[in-house]
Structures are given as structure tokens and as C-alpha cells.
């Protein structure tokens, strides 16, 4: 079975979350690693959503608002993206990593079994599908 490839949005940072996931064996690339520092800061969300989805990557987002903002939601739909988004934006970096790792088994199972488009909220109580705006 092919290993899952994940793409972390800019709000998950470049160190704490990606490094914690990598220590557990996740294959993660960050926005800055892919696009460079300058481009990562000015790249529109719709562009990295499209690029990562077209590359077959599973997207990791710091905020479930990606499902509610019209442009981002349309990008998710148009690219058939698979997105796991944290259920709250009020977590520290270590808490963000812990939330993903607490749900690791369910995340991997869902990512392997179904194609997009979808956004799943990663909460303290498990995974919750979110209706996409659009």
C-alpha cells in the first residue's frame, strides 16, 4: 500500500506540528518547504489547495474555516481535495500536533478509503465531517 503524503498549511507552522507528525512516521511537507519562504507567505490558499490535491496529498489545516470560506471551499470541491482541519483555532503548536496524533488511526483509515472532496474536523472527540460551502 502506498504511504499517505500530507501537506500542512501555513498556520500549522514549519516545525512543531510537522516534526511531531514526522516522528510518528507521517510523510509531511509544509507550505514553506514546497514554495519557499517568500512565496509561502503570499500564496493564495486556493493555489496550495489545488496543487496539493493534484499531487495526491492529504491536506492538513489549522482551521475548519477552509470549509466555510467560499473561495477555499470551491477550491476543495474543484480539486477533489481531502482535508483534515482542526476543530478549533485556539490550540498551541504542541496541542495541534497532539490532536492530529490522537486521531491518527481514524485519519489514516479515512484518507485511504475515500476520495474527496471533503473536509473533516479533527476534534477532541474524534472526526466530524463538515458540510462544504458551495
**Of the candidates 94, 82, 92, 91, the residue with the CA atom closest to the CA atom of residue 132:** 82
Instruction: Check pLDDT > 80 for residue 66.
Output: yes
Instruction: Check pLDDT > 70 for residue 124.
Output: yes
Distance CA 22, CA 10 (A): 17
* 25-64 residue pLDDT tens: 999 999 999 999 888 888 999 999 999 999 999 999 998 9
Q: Report which of residues 11 and 89 the model is more confident about.
A: 11
* 88-101 residue pLDDT tens: 889 999 999 999 99
Q: What is the pTM of this model?
A: 0.94
55 Cβ contact partners less than 8 Å away, ≥ 6 residues apart: 5, 7
DSSP 1-17: -PPPEEEE-GGGTTTHH
Amino acid at each position: 500500500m502506498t504511504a499517505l503524503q500530507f501537506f500542512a498549511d501555513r498556520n500549522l507552522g514549519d516545525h512543531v506540528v510537522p516534526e511531531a507528525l514526522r516522528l510518528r512516521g507521517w510523510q509531511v511537507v509544509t507550505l514553506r518547504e514546497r514554495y519557499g519562504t517568500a512565496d509561502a507567505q503570499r500564496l493564495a490558499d486556493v493555489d496550495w489547495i489545488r496543487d496539493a490535491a493534484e499531487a495526491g496529498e492529504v491536506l492538513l489545516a489549522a482551521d475548519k474555516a477552509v470549509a466555510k470560506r467560499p473561495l477555499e471551499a470551491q477550491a476543495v470541491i474543484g480539486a477533489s481535495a481531502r482535508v483534515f482541519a482542526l476543530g478549533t483555532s485556539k490550540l498551541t503548536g504542541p496541542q495541534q500536533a497532539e490532536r492530529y496524533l490522537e486521531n491518527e488511526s481514524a485519519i489514516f483509515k479515512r484518507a485511504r478509503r475515500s476520495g474527496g472532496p471533503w473536509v473533516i474536523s479533527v476534534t477532541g472527540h474524534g472526526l466530524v465531517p463538515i458540510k462544504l460551502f458551495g
